A and B are shown apart, each in its own frame.
Chain A
Amino acid sequence: MLWQRAVIRRIEMLSPRVKSFFFRLPDALSFRPGQHVVLRLTASDGYRAQRSYSIASAPGHGAVGDLELTIERLDDGEVSSFMHDVAQVGDEFELSGPIGLHFNWSPEDGGPVLFIGGGSGVVPFMSMLRQRAAFGSKVPVALMVSARTQEDLLFFEELSRLELILAVTLTREAGASSFRSGRIDAAFIASVAAAMAQPVRQVLICGSNPFVEATAEGTIAAGIDPALIKTERYSAGDIRT
C-alpha cells in the first residue's frame, strides 16, 4: 500500500477524551464520506503501529489538502494515547487510504436517511453531513446521537446549525440538561423515524460494538427492514477483557 507524509497543522480539543487532528497532505485526498485512513507510527528501533481512523472532514472541505481525523483516547490505546499525550503540531506521520466502500453516504445516494452515532461514532456522519451542506443538498436526514454527558457531545454547535432532525440523548447525565437522558432504544428510533416525512430508506449506525449491537436491534424492533441497515463498529482492538 502507498503511504504519504501527513503533517499535523492544528489540534483541536473537542471533549476531555476526544481531539481532532488536522493533517496537511502533499496532495488532497480523494475520498467518499464514511471512508477511513490508516495512520502509521514508527519507533526509532523500527517498531511500527498502525490504526484506522474515520475521516471527519468532507472531501475538499477546508484548506486544500487538510484532512480532519477525530481520535478518541482509549485508556489502553497504544496509538490513541500517543496522539493525545505526545503528538504536536508539526509532527509528521505516514498515512494511507482512503479505505472502505461500504459505510458511505453521499447526497446522490438519496434518502430519507437515518444516522445513529454513539460517542465518537458521530465522526463519519460529520463527513457526510459536511458534504451534504457543501452541496446544498435537501435530502432528508435525521441524526441521532448518544453521548455520556453534555461535555462528551461532539460537534454539537455545528450540528445545530445544519438543516436536519437532530436527536440527542445523554446516557450518564439525567436531568442535568435540556437533553433527553437514557439510551437509544426502539421507541426513540421509531419516534425520530416518524418525524421524517417519508419512510427511512437507509440507516447507518456507528460506534462501539455494544452500542451498534443494541442500536441495530432497536432499529429492527422499530420496524425498519434489517437490509436497510449498515453498521460500522469501532473495533476497540485495544480492549482488555
Chain B
Amino acid sequence: MATRGFVGRSVEADQVNRLPPGQHVVSGFPVLSAGPTPRIETGDWIFSLKVGPRVVANWTWAEFNALPQTKMTRDIHCVTTWSKLNTMWEGVLIDDLLGDANLEAPTAYTLAHSYDGYSTNVPTADLLVGRAMVATRYASRPIAPEHGGPARLFVPHLYFWKSAKWVNALQFTERDELGFWELRGYHHNGDPWREQRYTND
C-alpha cells in the first residue's frame, strides 16, 4: 500500500545492502535508556562471569584493561529503526574473557546484567568466535556514561538493546531466561535482518 505523496529519503547506493529492513541511517548517536544514567566509578567497577548463581571469575577495571584488547568497527541497528554505520569500539572479546577464566562456554544461553538492574538474554553462540565483546572505548575514547560507560556489551549483529549498557556480569544459564525488554514486549532473539523487533515477530 503506497502512502499518498510519500517519496522518502533516498538511500545512498553503498548503504542499500547494509541496512536491514525498516532501518534508516542517522549520523548522530541517539540515547535510549529505561531509567536514569548510573554514575559508576572505574575504581568500584567489577565485572563477573557466572554459571547459574555461582561467580566463576571477577575482574577489576585494571585487570580487565590488562586483558587482550580488540577493535571492532561495525554498523549498529536500534529497534526504534535508526542505524549508525561504521561505529568503532574497543574492548575484550567474550572469547578472551572465557580464555582468561579457563572456561569453555558452559551453557547455550547467557543473560547479561547491568549496574542499573537491566538485563538482556543472548544465545551464547552469538557471543563467541569474535562476534561480541565487552567494550570500554567508543571512537577511541572512554564510553560516555549515557552510552553505557564504563563498559557495555557489544553484540552488533543483534538489535542494539542487546548491547547492554553499564554491563557488569554475564551469567550462563541452562534455559533462555528473558531479560528486561524481552519481558516487556520485545523479541527474545532480536535479529535485525529477520526484523525480530517485537515479541511475536
Instruction: Fill in one digit per residue for A8-27: 1 if any B CB lies within 8 Å of its CB, else 0.
Output: 00000000000000000000
Complex partner residue of A78 from B2, B9, B34, B200, CB under 8 angstroms: B9
Instruction: Verify A237–B3 contact, CB threshold 8 A.
Output: no
The B-contacting residues of A in range 37-77, CB under 8 angstroms, are 41-44, 47-52
Instruction: Verify B8–A78 contact, CB threshold 8 A.
Output: yes
The B-contacting residues of A in range 62-113, CB under 8 angstroms, are 78, 82, 86-88, 91-94, 99-103
- Docked complex Cα distance between A41 and B37 (Å): 33
B146 at the interface (CB under 8 A from A): yes
- Docked complex Cα distance between A128 and B82 (Å): 27
Which single residue of chain A is at the shortest CB-CB distance from B180? A102
Complex partner residue of B6 from A82, A99, A102, CB under 8 angstroms: A82
B27 at the interface (CB under 8 A from A): yes
B43 at the interface (CB under 8 A from A): no
The A-contacting residues of B in range 1-55, CB under 8 angstroms, are 1-9, 11, 21-22, 24, 26-38
B107 at the interface (CB under 8 A from A): no
Which single residue of chain B is at the shortest CB-CB distance from A216? B36
Which residues of B sit under 8 angstroms from A42, Cβ to Cβ?
1-3, 6
Complex partner residue of B82 from A2, A230, A235, CB under 8 angstroms: A235
Instruction: Fill in one digit per residue for A195-224: 1 if any B CB lies within 8 Å of its CB, else 0.
Output: 000000000000001000100110110000
Instruction: Verify B32–A233 contact, CB threshold 8 A.
Output: yes
Which single residue of chain B is at the shortest CB-CB distance from A5? B1
A231 and B6 in contact, given A49-B24, A78-B24, A237-B26 (Cβ under 8 angstroms): no
- Main SS of the interface on chain B? loop
- Docked complex Cα distance between A241 and B35 (Å): 24
Instruction: Verify A239–B28 contact, CB threshold 8 A.
Output: yes
A236 at the interface (CB under 8 A from B): yes
Which residues of A sit under 8 angstroms from B30, Cβ to Cβ?
209, 233, 235-237, 239
Instruction: Verify B3–A43 contact, CB threshold 8 A.
Output: yes
Which residues of A sit under 8 angstroms from B38, Cβ to Cβ?
226
Complex partner residue of A52 from B21, B28, B80, B195, CB under 8 angstroms: B80
A237 and B81 in contact, given A49-B24, A99-B185 (Cβ under 8 angstroms): yes
Number of interface residues of A (CB under 8 A): 46
Complex partner residue of A236 from B21, B28, B36, CB under 8 angstroms: B28
- Docked complex Cα distance between A87 and B24 (Å): 21
A161 at the interface (CB under 8 A from B): no
Which residues of B sit under 8 angstroms from A93, Cβ to Cβ?
3
- Docked complex Cα distance between A86 and B183 (Å): 37
- Main SS of the interface on chain A? mixed
- Docked complex Cα distance between A226 and B183 (Å): 21
- Docked complex Cα distance between A1 and B184 (Å): 16
Complex partner residue of A101 from B2, B78, B184, CB under 8 angstroms: B184
Instruction: Verify A241–B28 contact, CB threshold 8 A.
Output: yes
- Docked complex Cα distance between A53 and B34 (Å): 17
A30 smallest CB distance to B (angstroms): 13
B78 smallest CB distance to A (angstroms): 7
Specify which of B30, B117, B200 lies most central, judged by the most chain A CB atoms within 10 Å of its CB. Answer: B30
Instruction: Verify A235–B36 contact, CB threshold 8 A.
Output: no
Which residues of A sit under 8 angstroms from B9, Cβ to Cβ?
49, 78
- Docked complex Cα distance between A49 and B19 (Å): 12
Which single residue of chain B is at the shortest CB-CB distance from A39? B3
- Docked complex Cα distance between A240 and B6 (Å): 22
- Docked complex Cα distance between A220 and B37 (Å): 11
- Docked complex Cα distance between A228 and B171 (Å): 26
B104 at the interface (CB under 8 A from A): no
A238 at the interface (CB under 8 A from B): yes
A residues lining the B interface (CB < 8 Å): 1-2, 5, 41-44, 47-52, 78, 82, 86-88, 91-94, 99-103, 209, 213, 216-217, 219-220, 226-227, 229-231, 233, 235-241
